[in-house]
Structure 1
Amino acid sequence: MIIMILWKRGDGQMKLAPGSKWSKHLIFLASPELRHDVPETKLYSKATLATMINRHGEVFVKPVYGGGGFRIFRVKRLAGRFEVKMEHQKRVVSSLDSVVAWIDSVRKGSRFLVQQGIALAKWRGRPVDVRTIVQKNEAGRWEVTRLFAKAAGSGLAVTNLVIGGSALTVRAYLMSNGYTSQKAQSAIRRLKAKSVRIAKRFGGRYSNAIYGLDIGLDRQGKFWLIEVNTAPQLSIFKKGTLSRSDQRSLMLWNLHGKVNRAAEVHRGSWRRHK
């Protein structure tokens, strides 16, 4: 049985509360249009980990509740061994039991997911994904207000900026992978259109007026939705000077401030009770 947690937003309607990566994944599985854009994802167990690592060769094990790239494991099958990374730690072990022992010592009984690893197109040998910020505009329609690529820090398996990742333009990332200027612009248009479709899908289930989407590009040019952030951190708003796109993003955040602040409060609540 799957339990969906509801909360009341400013206009009195009941919507799904932000937080659970598993609940978000189920929303995608229910969408014929989007279900093929997400990596295979299962609730964590030793048996599931064994099945997924045998099927894909590389998986990510992550908390159902959590953010910032913390407590995320990348498990990669090698010849007779497993390479495991978590944040700045790396181990090469000979048995799956050793992998499970490390994961279980970190998760301490909390629920985790196992997600298929995607062979991402890289930048200077580092994994990259793209963050799009999608917000409701003055007319209540979804609009992509920010778009940038995130490259993993040296030796890291995840791209989160707070643990050492770095930002670059999507255009620079695409062109470093052999895209022409015209092809890069076409890919960016597809990326924005996909982001709006995702926001529309989630907009009927959550109360949010903003989403942060992490989208990966594989070596064949396919976009994969890695994660939906229902309360993305927007540290750019703390800068003294904002770009034009940042100013618009901040304006729209304030326009729907009551709903956005409620999502922030619930994000903190989920993290305290994960």
Structure 2
Amino acid sequence: MTMGKMGNYRVMLQNRNLRPHLPETRWMTDAGTLRMLGAHSSVFIKPDLGSGGNGIIRVRKLSRGYEVRSGPSRKIVGAGSVLRTVRSSRRSNNRYLMQKGLQIARYQGKIFDIRVYMQKPEHKWVIAGMVARVAAPHKFLTNYHQGGHAEPLQKVLLNQFKNNQAKVDACHRKIEQLSMTIAETVSKWSSTRELGIDLALDKNGYIWILEANSHPGHRLFTQLADQTMYSTIIENKRKMAVQYPI
């Protein structure tokens, strides 16, 4: 059995080591949306079962009114019509959740986050791949299907920490530690053997957990010059198909 984003979030919330890294996330309701917009400068609204960045809406406070972005659409609306605009921007009948927006770090002027590809080909979880996902210019999502592209994580972290290798190494270790904890925590409640974990650094270098997806895509890794991680992912998929056929 696999769970949606909210199910994974609630499982992770029970782990005291993960809790400080989880941005506020709630089911979407009209009243809840207004409360979130009152508390935060931006809010992301996501379908619980969506993937690839499809259907994600960002609502951002402006000096007057709100900016509502969904795909290529961008609307500036007043407080009286923001809920109606959000509802009309939804592309799915699935339940939606709301997540606090973050001041995400940038690479060469574009936002980026981190995809960690977790697999369990045998009895233990392994980190099969780690990559930075860099958004296309003027985009608010980093997903491959939204125009995002892959960059080696080491390269992006060196840029972020101004070539301070000690800080890069510490961040890398924390990413690995969090990812293993997430996979072990989520798999207690789900039979999945693959997880796409999305993490983000804020402008202070703090690591946030955006989501854990049990149906991750792996095409992003084909964009790297070094194909080692992609080959590892495919080989693990082959092993799992033999040992755990559907």
Instruction: Please give the TM-score of this superposition, normalised by the length of structure 1.
Output: 0.82
1:25-174 map, 5 Å: 25-95=9-79, 97-107=80-90, 110-138=94-122, 140-174=123-157
Q: Which amino acid aligns with 2:140?
A: A
1:126–1:153 CA contact under 8 A, matched in 2: yes
Structure 2: how far apart are the matches of 1:42 and 1:142?
28
Matched residues, percent identical? 26
Deviates more, 1:104-113 or 1:246-255: 104-113
Structure 2: how far apart are the matches of 1:192 and 1:259?
26
Ranges of 4+ aligned residues in structure 1 off by more than 6 Å: 236-239, 258-261
CA shift digits 1:196-247 (9 cap, x unpaired): 11111112111122111000111122111101010112236989x9822222
Distance 1:151 1:236, change over 3 A: closer
Q: How far apart are 1:93 and its partner, in Å?
A: 1.3
1:153–1:164 CA contact under 8 A, matched in 2: yes
Q: How far apart are 1:92 and its partner, in Å?
A: 1.3
Distance 1:137 1:19, change over 3 A: closer
Structure 1: how far apart are the matches of 2:34 and 2:229?
44
Structure 1: how far apart are the matches of 2:176 and 2:19?
18
Q: How far apart are 1:133 and its partner, in Å?
A: 0.6
CA shift digits 1:167-202 (9 cap, x unpaired): 111122222223412321221122112111111111
1:209–1:259 CA contact under 8 A, matched in 2: no
Could you tell me which residue of structure 2 aligns to residue 8 of structure 1? none
Structure 2: how far apart are the matches of 1:85 and 1:62?
12
Structure 2: how far apart are the matches of 1:236 and 1:104?
31
Q: In structure 2, list runs of 5 or more residues that go unmatched.
A: none
Structure 2: how far apart are the matches of 1:165 and 1:238?
13
Structure 2: how far apart are the matches of 1:83 and 1:248?
41
1:175-254 map, 5 Å: 175-179=158-162, 180-235=164-219, 243-254=227-238
Matched, 1:256 2:236: no
Structure 2: how far apart are the matches of 1:237 and 1:38?
26
1:87–1:157 CA contact under 8 A, matched in 2: no
Distance 1:249 1:110, change over 3 A: closer
Three-state SS of the structure 1 residue aligned to 2:110 is coil
Structure 1: how far apart are the matches of 2:108 and 2:57?
22
Q: How far apart are 1:111 and its partner, in Å?
A: 1.4
Structure 2: how far apart are the matches of 1:48 and 1:205?
27
Q: In structure 1, list runs of 5 or more residues that go unmatched.
A: 1-16, 263-274
Structure 1: how far apart are the matches of 2:147 and 2:99?
22
